Chains A and B, each alone.
Chain A
Amino acid sequence: MDKEGCRLMEFISEVVVWFSEDGRWAGSDGILPRTVEHLWLAILPMIIAAALALPIGVWLGHRRTGEFAANAVVNIGRAIPSFGLIILSGVFFLRAGVSLRFWPAVVALVALAIPPIFTNAYAAIVTVPQETVEAARGMGLTEGAILRQVEIPVGSAVILAGVRISFIQVLATVPLAAVLSSGGGLGQYVVRGFAQGVGARAEVFAGALLIALLTLAADWAFSSSERLLLPEGIRRLRPEEIKAAASVS
C-alpha cells in the first residue's frame, strides 16, 4: 500500500478506536447523553419560538397587515450571524451571573428560530385566496372559525415548511453553543477537538460525522412525517399539489 493509503487507514482506525473507547456511548460525556442534550437544545427553543411566532404570524396574516414586519424579520434574521448571536447571548448571561451551559444557547436559538416560523405562518395565511375567505365569510363563519377551519388548514403546508426550515437551522446551530461551555451537545466533541489541535483529529471527525448524521436524520424524519401532520382535507391532495402550495414562500 502507498504512503497516502497507509495514512488514511491509520486515520480511519483512529476514528474507529474513538467510537469504541470506554464509556463512549453511555458515559457522562458519551454519545447518547450528548445526543439527548443536542436534541433538547433544539426542541425547547423550537417550542418557545413556535409559541411566540405562530399566533402572531397567523393573526397578522389574517388581518392582512404587517407585510413590512414580516419582511424586516426575515431580513434581520438572515443577517445576524448565529455564531455571534450565541456568544453575545452568553456574554449577557455571564454578566447576570447565570451558568453558560444551557440558557444562553436557548435564548439565542429562540431568536434564530422565530424568523422562518413567523414569515411562513404569515405568508401561509396571507396567500390564502381572498375569494376563499370571502366565501367562508358569506357562509356565516365567524372570523375565528375562518381562521381555524379555512385559513390555517389551507396554509398548513407552508406553516409546517417554516417550522421545518427553522428546526433544521436551529439543530445546525446547536453545536456552536459548545464554544460557550461544556455543553453544546455533539458540538462539544468538535469544538473541544479543534482547540486541542492535531492530537484530537479523530474526535473532531467523529463528532462532525455524528452531527451531520443527526441533522440529516432529523431532516428526513421531519419531511417524511410532515404529511401526517397536515389536516385531513389537505392530506388527501396529491403530493405535488401540496408541494406547489408549500413553495409559495
Chain B
Amino acid sequence: MTLAQQTMPLFDWSWVGRNLDTIWDRTIEHLRLTGFALVVGLGLSIALAALALRRPRTYEPITAATGIMYTIPSLAVFALVRPWFGIGFVTAEIALVSYTLLILIRNIVAGINGVPPGVREAALGMGYRDGERLRRIEFPLALPVIVAGLRIATVTVIGLVTVTSLLGLGGLGFFILDGIRRSVIFPTGIIVGVVLSVALAAILDLVLLAVGRILTPWTRRDAV
C-alpha cells in the first residue's frame, strides 16, 4: 500500500478531464447547501435582530444562545442533530444555519445601532415613522456592516459544507473524504475539493462585495 501511495501522482489532470460532470454536480450541490443555509440564516437573523432592536434586553440572551451554537464544533452538531432528523439535508442545514446566526445578528444590530443619532433625529424631524425610518433610512445606512457580516457567514458556511460529506452530502467535500477513504489514497480528488472550495469562497466573497457596493453608492462617492 505504501508503495502504491508513493507511485500515485500528486495530481492527475486526466482524472479531472474525465470527471468534469461529477465535479460540476458536486459544485452545484455545494452552492445549493450554502445558499439554502444563508437564506434561512439571514431570515432567522433578521427576525431575531429585529426583536433585539425593539427589546434591547433580549440582545444578551440571543447572542449568548447563538454564541453557544457557534462554539459547538460542526462535527458534534451533525452528530447531535442526526438522531432526530436522520442523515441528510435537514441535519446538514440545521448545523450550517446555526453557524450563520451569531455573525449575522451581531452585524445587523451593530449596523442599525451604528446609525448616527443625528441622522435618526433628522429622519424623525422629517416625519418618518418607526417602520418607515428603519426601512428607508437606518437599513440602507447599516447595509455595509450587514453585507460585511454576510460575507463572513458565506465564507464560513462554504468551508463547513465540506464537513457534511460525513453525512453523505458534502458538495466538494465529497472528493476530499472520498480521496482519503479509498484503499489507495487519491490526492487529486482531495486537491480538487480543497481548491474549488477556496475558489467558491473567493468568488462569492467578491460577488457580495460588489453587490454591497452597488447597493450603497454613497459609500463610494465620499470615501470616508
Binding site for B on A (CB under 8 A): 11, 75, 78-85, 87-88, 90-91, 94-95, 97, 168, 171-173, 175-176, 179-180, 187, 190-191, 193-194, 201, 204-205, 207-209, 211-212, 215-216, 219
B79 interface residue (CB < 8 Å to A):
yes
Binding site for A on B (CB under 8 A): 2, 5-6, 10, 68, 71-80, 82-83, 152, 155-156, 158-160, 162-163, 165-167, 173, 176-177, 179-180, 185, 187, 190-191, 193-194, 197-198, 201-202, 205
Q: A87-B176, A95-B5, A97-B2 are in contact. Are A79 and B74 (CB under 8 A)?
A: no
* Residues of the B chain whose Cβ atoms lie less than 8 Å from the Cβ of A208: 75-80
* Residues of the A chain whose Cβ atoms lie less than 8 Å from the Cβ of B160: 81
Contact partner of A172 (CB less than 8 A), chosen from B73, B180, B198, is B73
A193: min CB distance to chain B, Å:
8
Assess whether B190 is in contact with A87, with CB atoms less than 8 Å apart: yes
* Residues of the A chain whose Cβ atoms lie less than 8 Å from the Cβ of B80: 205, 208-209, 212
A46: min CB distance to chain B, Å:
16
Q: How far is the CA of A231 from the CA of B2 in the complex (A)?
A: 52
Q: A83-B173, A91-B187 are in contact. Are A194 and B166 (CB under 8 A)?
A: yes
Q: A82-B159, A205-B80 are in contact. Are A190 and B180 (CB under 8 A)?
A: no
Q: Would you list 25 pairs from A and B whose C-beta atoms are within 8 A, ordered by A residue?
A: A79-B159, A80-B194, A83-B162, A83-B176, A84-B162, A84-B176, A84-B190, A87-B177, A87-B194, A91-B185, A94-B185, A172-B73, A173-B73, A187-B75, A191-B166, A194-B166, A204-B79, A207-B76, A208-B76, A208-B77, A208-B80, A209-B80, A215-B71, A215-B72, A216-B72
* Residues of the B chain whose Cβ atoms lie less than 8 Å from the Cβ of A168: 71
- Closest residue of chain B to A80 (Cβ to Cβ) is B198
* Residues of the B chain whose Cβ atoms lie less than 8 Å from the Cβ of A11: 83
* Residues of the A chain whose Cβ atoms lie less than 8 Å from the Cβ of B5: 94-95
Assess whether B180 is in contact with A180, with CB atoms less than 8 Å apart: yes
* Residues of the A chain whose Cβ atoms lie less than 8 Å from the Cβ of B198: 79-81
Assess whether B158 is in contact with A81, with CB atoms less than 8 Å apart: yes
* Residues of the B chain whose Cβ atoms lie less than 8 Å from the Cβ of A83: 159, 162-163, 165, 173, 176
* Residues of the B chain whose Cβ atoms lie less than 8 Å from the Cβ of A194: 79, 166-167
A149: min CB distance to chain B, Å:
33
- Closest residue of chain B to A100 (Cβ to Cβ) is B180
Assess whether B194 is in contact with A85, with CB atoms less than 8 Å apart: yes
Assess whether B76 is in contact with A175, with CB atoms less than 8 Å apart: yes
* Residues of the B chain whose Cβ atoms lie less than 8 Å from the Cβ of A207: 76, 79
Q: How far is the CA of A176 from the CA of B187 in the complex (A)?
A: 18
A154: min CB distance to chain B, Å:
23
Assess whether B202 is in contact with A84, with CB atoms less than 8 Å apart: no
Assess whether A191 is in contact with B152, with CB atoms less than 8 Å apart: no
Contact partner of B205 (CB less than 8 A), chosen from A79, A94, A97, is A79
A166: min CB distance to chain B, Å:
13
Assess whether B162 is in contact with A81, with CB atoms less than 8 Å apart: yes
* Residues of the A chain whose Cβ atoms lie less than 8 Å from the Cβ of B179: 87, 91
Given contacts A78-B152, A179-B180, A190-B76, 4 further A-B contacts (CB under 8 A): A88-B194, A191-B166, A212-B73, A215-B73
Assess whether A79 is in contact with B201, with CB atoms less than 8 Å apart: yes
- Closest residue of chain B to A173 (Cβ to Cβ) is B73
Assess whether B152 is in contact with A211, with CB atoms less than 8 Å apart: no
Q: How far is the CA of A211 from the CA of B83 in the complex (A)?
A: 17
Q: A75-B205, A78-B155, A84-B193 are in contact. Are A172 and B79 (CB under 8 A)?
A: no
Assess whether B79 is in contact with A88, with CB atoms less than 8 Å apart: no
* Residues of the A chain whose Cβ atoms lie less than 8 Å from the Cβ of B155: 75, 78-79
Going nearest first, the 5 A-B pairs with the smallest beta carbon separation are A208-B79, A84-B194, A172-B73, A81-B159, A79-B201
Assess whether A78 is in contact with B194, with CB atoms less than 8 Å apart: no
Assess whether B194 is in contact with A179, with CB atoms less than 8 Å apart: no
- Closest residue of chain A to B180 (Cβ to Cβ) is A87
Assess whether B76 is in contact with A211, with CB atoms less than 8 Å apart: yes
Q: How far is the CA of A201 from the CA of B85 in the complex (A)?
A: 13
